[in-house]
Structure 1
Amino acid sequence: MKNIVFKWIAGALLLSVTMSCSDMIEEYNPSGITSETVYNTPQGFETLINAAYSYQRWWYGKEEGYSLSEMGTDLWMSGAGDIYPDLTKYINLQGNNGAIETEWKALYAAVNICNAGISRIDGAGFEEDLKNIRLAELHFLRAFYYWHIVETWGGVHLSIEETSGIVTTANKSAIEDFYKLIEEDLLLSIQYLPNTTSDYGRVTNPAARAFLSRVYLTIGNDQKANQYATSVINGNFGFELEEKYADLWDMSNLKNNEVIYAVNYSTNLALNDKEDEILNPLGHSRGSNNGHLMFIMKYDTETGMMRDTENGRPFNRYMPTRFLLDLFPAGDERYEGSFKEVFYVNNPIGNLALGDTAVYTTRKAINSSGKAYKIYDRNYMYQTDGKVKDQLRYPTLCKFLDNTRASANEAQSARDVFVIRLAELYLNAAEAQLKLGNLDSAAYWVNIVRERAAKPGFEEQMKVVPSQITLDFILDERAREFAGEQIRWFDLKRTGKLFDRVKNNNPDVGPTLQNHHVVRPIPQEQLDAIFNKEEFRQNEGYQ
C-alpha cells in the first residue's frame, strides 16, 4: 500500500514515543535518545505502547469528539456556546472545520504509532508471552482507530506500514478493506489478550470481544455480533450492571464492574498533556476530560446562583432535544440519573436562603405562578414544533459532572470515559436477535437493561414484550441508556436511520442534513498536502 502524506504525522511519531497512557502505567521518559533506541528496549517499547493508547484521549472526553459523535443527531441541539455549528448543524460543513482537522490528525498519528509498533516489536527484546500481549494491544488499538476513521470519513487512506518521513501521496481504499483489516486485528488480539489487567485502561480479551460485537453489528454480520456480545455476557469475566444507573457516574465509583473498556485520565492533571511540545506534539487541545463542561445550562447568572464545583462550569455547548427528554417514561430512573433539573441557592440573596430552590428547568409544561424560584418549562425552552427557543436554560446532562475539581473554574477533569459498558452488549445482542428474526430473545436482552432502569413499583410497566421490539425501539432504548456517551451518531449511521431520525426529531438540524453528510469531509489541509490530488479527492458532496 502507498504511505500517507501528513507532514505532521512523521514528526508526531518520533515525538510521541515519550507519551504516557495513564498514571496507572509506569512512565518512562527517554530524554536524549532516539526513537530507534527506544524501539530496541522493552522499557522503551512500553512507552510506544502507552503512546498508542494516549491518542484515545483526543476523541473521548473531548469537545471535538462529542461534536462528531453526539451532535447532528436526534438527541442534541446547539446551546448558546456551540463553537462548531457548521459541524453540529450541518451548516455549510467543509474540510476546514477545526474539530474534523483535529480528529483526523490524531487518529492517523495513532494508526502510525500502531503500525510502527507492530512492525518493530520483534526487535524490542520482550519475553514471548509479554510480546504477544503487547502485540495484541497494538492490533486492537489499530482496529479501534480505523473504526473511527472509516465510520467518520468512509473509504479514505488505509495503510499497515509505518510512515517514518514525509510522503506525498495517499490512497482511497474500499470500506470493505478497512473492515477486513479491523476484523483481522481484533480476532488476533482476542487470541492473546488476558481476561483481566491490573493496569486500568489497558484492553482485555472481553473488551476486544465487546468491540468486535460492535464492529459486526456495523457491517451487518448479526450472527457474529450476537456471538461476541453473549460471549462477554456469559463469559464469567466478572462484569455486572450497577444496581442503580445513577451510581455509574459517581466520581468515587468510576472503576465499577459494568465498565468493560474505558479511556482513563490521571488525577494528576499534568500527566494528561494539555500543553507540551514534546508530550503533545499535535497541539494544545488534548489535556484532561472536558465533557463535564459541555452540557451544562447557564445557571450561574440566575438569581441566588454562582458558579461552583458542584454544579460545574457551564460552557453551554449542547442542549437536549425535546424528543430526547420525552423518551423517558415516568418509571424510568435513567432520566433522573442522566439529567439535572434543579439548582439550589448557593449565593443567598433577599428571600432566597442557602439551599432553597433557585432554578427549576423541567421537561414538563407547568404553571409557574406563585413559585418563589425561577421556572423554565418545556414551553419556555422549545417552540411548539420542537425548535429551540432558549439556548441558555434546559435540563443539564449531569453524567459527566466532576465535583472533585480543585476550583469552580477548573476546565480539566480526571473523570474516566466509559467507551463500552455491559449494557451495550445486552442491547447489541438484542439488535442482532431482532435482525435475525428472534424477537423473544431480543425482548429478553432489552428487559435486562430495563429491569435495572425501573423505579421501585414500576418494574412491570418497564418490561417489554416481543411485539414491541423494533429497530426504532432499540434506538430509543440506546438513547435512554447512552445519551451523551459518544456513540449516537454511529448508532444512527449503522442502522440507516440517521436521516429519518434527525429530520423527524431534531427540527433545528433536520432541514440542513443532506445525503452526503453520512460521512465527514476530508480536511482541506490534507488535500492540499498531497501530490496525487486526482486520485485522492474530497468526499462527494463537499467542496
Structure 2
Amino acid sequence: MKIFNRTNFLIAATAALTMVTGCKKLLTEKPESDLYPKYFTTAGGVQAAITGVYQDLRSNFSGEGIVYCYNGTDENIVGGSGGNGANILNSYNGLNSTNTPDLLGLYTDINTLNGAIQYSSAITDAATRAQYVAQAQFLRGFIYFYLVQTYGGTTATQKSGIPLHLTYNTSASTADAPSPLSDIYNAIIADFTTAATNLPATITGTNPFSAAGVGKSATSAVANAYLAKTYLTRGYNSEVAQPGDFQSAATLTASLISNKATYGLDLWQDYNDEHKPANDYGKENMFNIDYGGASDPTYTGYTLQGSGGSGINQLYVLARFNYVNTGVDNVTGIDAVPQKMSSNSAMLRDVYGGRPYTRLAPNKLYTMDVAFADQVHDCRYDATFQTYWICNKAGVSGTSSTGTSKGQLTPASNVSLSSYQVPIGGDTSILMPSQDVTMARRDAFKGVIVTPKQFNNTIFPTVKKFDDPTRTATGDFSSRPIVLMRFSEVYLMNAEANYMLNNITAAATSLNVLRARAAYRTPADAATVANNQASVTAANMAAVNSANAAAMLLTGTQLAQLAIPNNTTVGSAPCGMDLILEEYSREFYGDPRRWYDLVRTNQLVRRATKYNSFAAPYIQPYHTRRPIPQREIQNVLSGPAYPQNNGY
C-alpha cells in the first residue's frame, strides 16, 4: 500500500496520547485548530491518518527487534550473533520490565484511529466515509488484539495489563490504568465485526489504501479472519471466555473457506508458490505489511547501499547463518559434535547469498527432529530452508581427513556483487543433508558437509522463503512485504476451533487439506533443493505426488492423538494440540508469530519446557504475558501508580 508523507498530520495526531506515549512526549506547542480535530472531518485527513497508521505498523515489524515473536518458544534458539536481550527473551532468565518488548507506542496510532472514527461523520460522501471508518476500526481492533496478546488486561487474578481508550484525546495525560480483559476483548470484537460488514470483499484499483490495488490492506475477509482469531484466543482464557467462542471461530473460518471465491482467496496448489515474490499479492496472502519496493524511496526510505537503507524489512536476514565463515577442509573433528570448521572458505558474501545476521537459529530438537521430520513426503522443509551453497570464490581447494587435496572447487559462472543471480554451474561448497554421512563421503565431497546432528546456533539451514531477488547490493535488506495473515491460517484456525469443540472429523478435514497440498512437488521445485533431497521429474511427478498425498493424510494413530483433549500440563503426553501446533510450524516457520501461537493455546510453558533447554529451568506461567515496560510505568505521574503484570 502507498503511505503518504504525513508530516502535517503528525502535528495534529501526536499531541493526544495515553499513558504510554503522552507521558514521555508532553507537547508544549498548540496545534492549529483547523487540523485538530477538524482535520478528521475531511476525506483527505482521514485517509492520511489511516495510511499513517499503516506506516507505523510497517516500522513496528521491520527491524530485528521482532525477535520477541520467535525467542523463548519451541521453534527457535538465539543465533550466534544474537545479543544479551535475545538470550533473556529466549531463556526468560532475567526477563523484566527493563528488557521487555515495548509495543506501547502504538497507542499514538490508537488515538489517531479514535479521531478518524469519532469525527469522520462530517465526511459527506457516505461510501467513502463507510470505507474509511471500516479501515480505522479494523486497524484499531488489530492493534488492540496485538497488544492484549502481549500484555493482557485485568482479571480476577491478573491485576495489570493494558488500558483501553476508545475516544480521541485532545490533550496529553499523565494518568492511566489497566482495563478489564473482558472489556478489551469486547472492544476488539466490536471493531472487527463492524469492519467486516463495511470493508470491501477484495482490493481493487480504486482502493485508497493500496498502490493501485496491488497492496494487501484490510478487506472484509481479513476482518473476519481476525475476528475468528479473537474468538479463538478469548476461548482459551477461562476468566473471560464465552460459551460460544470456539463455535464462533469455527463458523467464521468455515464461511471464509466456503466463500473463498467471493474474496479472491485460495491456496496455491504448490506450497512453494506461496512464497515466490511474484505471488506476494496473490490469492493466498490476505494481509501484508508492505515495504514499497526499491523503486519508491520516498515511501520506503530504501537506498541501494551496503547498509541497506532504512525502514526496510529485515525479516529475511534474521535466520541466515554466516556462510562466508564456513570452511571446506576436513580438519580433525570435522564430524564431531559440535562440528570443527576450518577457515578455508569457498564462499564470499554476494547478493544471492544475502546478508547473514544470525539473530535466530532453528531449534533442531523440535524444528528438524519433530516438525520437519518428514522431508520426503512433505515439501515444506525444502521450500522453507536453504540447504546448500554453491561456490562463488575462485582458487579454493579443500583438504581431506588425511591431508590430501579434495580438488579445486569450480565457482558459479555468474557471481555478482551488484545483482541477485541464481548460481549457474559451480560446485557445492556447503551441503546440509538430512542424514549423517561417512568420512569417506566427506572426503569425496569437494566442499564441507554439515549433518543434522551438527546443527547449532551458528551453522544451520537458512530460511530462504523471504529472499528478495530485487536487491542490488550485498548488504541490502528486503522490500518484500511481511505477511501477517495467509489463507492457509484460516484452515488451521478452523482445525483448532473444531478440535477445541471436540469435532475431530472436521478438524482432521482442515488439516488434511494443508497436508495434501504439502505433498505436491514439481520439477521446477527440484531445481531449488540439493540433489540429495526429495524431488520429482516430469516422468514420475504424477505418481510420486499421488503417493505422497496419500502418505500425508492423517493416519489412524494421528487421528487418535487428535482426539486427545488439549493438555497444558508440563511433562504430559502428546495431545491433539501438539499435532495442530506442528502443522502451524510447517506452514509458517519464519513468520513472526510463534510466541503468540503458543501463548494463545496455553502451550507456551509446556512446549518450551519440553523442547527449549535454555528456557526449561526458568519459564513460569506468568511468562505468557510480557512485563509492562518500566519507562511506561514511570511515566504515570498522576493518580494511582500503574501496576506491573503478575510475576515481574
Alignment TM class, shorter chain as reference: 0.7 to 0.9
1:287 and 1:306 mapped to 2: Cα distance?
26
Shift of 1:4: 2.5
Task: Quickly say closer, same or farther: Cα 1:72–1:180, change in 2 above 3 A.
Answer: same
**Which shows bigger deviation, 130-139 or 196-205?**
196-205
Give the percent of matched residue pairs that are identical in Structure 1 and Structure 2.
Answer: 27
1:14 and 1:146 mapped to 2: Cα distance?
28
Shift of 1:8: 5.0
Who is 2:19 aligned against?
5
Matched, 1:393 2:435: no
Deviations 1:280-300 (A, max 9, x none): xxxx99712110110101102
Who is 2:139 aligned against?
141
Who is 1:512 aligned against?
618
Deviations 1:319-363 (A, max 9, x none): 001111122213110000101110111112230111210112345
1:309 and 1:33 mapped to 2: Cα distance?
49
Who is 1:169 aligned against?
175
Who is 1:131 aligned against?
129
Answer whether contact 1:10 1:164 (CA < 8 A) is retained: no
1:474 and 1:492 mapped to 2: Cα distance?
11
Equivalent of residue 152 in structure 2, options 151, 154, 167? 154
1:135 and 1:310 mapped to 2: Cα distance?
43
Q: Which has the larger radius of gyration?
A: 2
Who is 1:187 aligned against?
193
Letter in 2 for 1:232: L
Answer whether contact 2:216 2:287 (CA < 8 A) is retained: yes
Shift of 1:178: 0.8
1:229 and 1:76 mapped to 2: Cα distance?
29
Who is 2:368 aligned against?
325
Deviations 1:448-478 (A, max 9, x none): 0011101423111100144342111011111
Deviations 1:21-67 (A, max 9, x none): xxxxxxxxxx99845464343223211111122222133343222x2
Task: Quickly say closer, same or farther: Cα 1:8–1:295, change in 2 above 3 A.
Answer: farther
Matched, 1:405 2:476: no
Letter in 2 for 1:360: L
Equivalent of residue 386 in structure 2, options 340, 352, 359? 340
Shift of 1:533: 7.0
State the SS of the aligned residue for 1:473.
Answer: helix
Who is 1:308 aligned against?
350
Task: Quickly say closer, same or farther: Cα 1:115–1:362, change in 2 above 3 A.
Answer: farther
Answer whether contact 1:259 1:421 (CA < 8 A) is retained: yes
Equivalent of residue 448 in structure 2, options 364, 370, 374? 374
Who is 1:451 aligned against?
516
Letter in 1 for 2:109: A
Who is 1:434 aligned against?
499
Compute the TM-score of the two structures, normalised by the length of structure 1: 0.87
Deviations 1:475-503 (A, max 9, x none): 11111111121221111111111111111
State the SS of the aligned residue for 1:510.
Answer: coil
Task: Quickly say closer, same or farther: Cα 1:475–1:262, change in 2 above 3 A.
Answer: same
State the SS of the aligned residue for 2:465.
Answer: coil
| Unmatched segments (≥5 aa) in structure 1 | 18-30, 276-283, 382-389
2:109 and 2:433 mapped to 1: Cα distance?
42
Paired positions, count: 505
Letter in 2 for 1:467: A
Answer whether contact 1:272 1:288 (CA < 8 A) is retained: no
1:9 and 1:527 mapped to 2: Cα distance?
10
Who is 2:409 aligned against?
352
Deviations 1:501-538 (A, max 9, x none): 11111112222322221111111111111124744211
2:195 and 2:132 mapped to 1: Cα distance?
9
Deviations 1:119-165 (A, max 9, x none): 12123x34011101111111111110001111101112111122333
Who is 2:284 aligned against?
258
**Which shows bigger deviation, 367-376 or 521-530?**
367-376
Task: Quickly say closer, same or farther: Cα 1:42–1:521, change in 2 above 3 A.
Answer: same
Task: Quickly say closer, same or farther: Cα 1:14–1:340, change in 2 above 3 A.
Answer: farther
Letter in 2 for 1:404: T
Letter in 2 for 1:138: A
Equivalent of residue 88 in structure 2, options 76, 86, 89? 86
1:13 and 1:423 mapped to 2: Cα distance?
45
Letter in 2 for 1:39: F
Letter in 2 for 1:58: S
Who is 2:111 aligned against?
112
Matched, 1:219 2:234: yes
**Which shows bigger deviation, 219-228 or 355-364?**
355-364
2:177 and 2:197 mapped to 1: Cα distance?
31
Who is 2:68 aligned against?
68
1:339 and 1:13 mapped to 2: Cα distance?
48
Matched, 1:233 2:233: no
2:591 and 2:480 mapped to 1: Cα distance?
13
Task: Quickly say closer, same or farther: Cα 1:484–1:122, change in 2 above 3 A.
Answer: same
Answer whether contact 2:79 2:457 (CA < 8 A) is retained: yes
State the SS of the aligned residue for 1:164.
Answer: coil
Who is 1:26 aligned against?
none
1:10 and 1:42 mapped to 2: Cα distance?
31
1:183 and 1:439 mapped to 2: Cα distance?
27
1:251 and 1:321 mapped to 2: Cα distance?
27
1:153 and 1:363 mapped to 2: Cα distance?
39
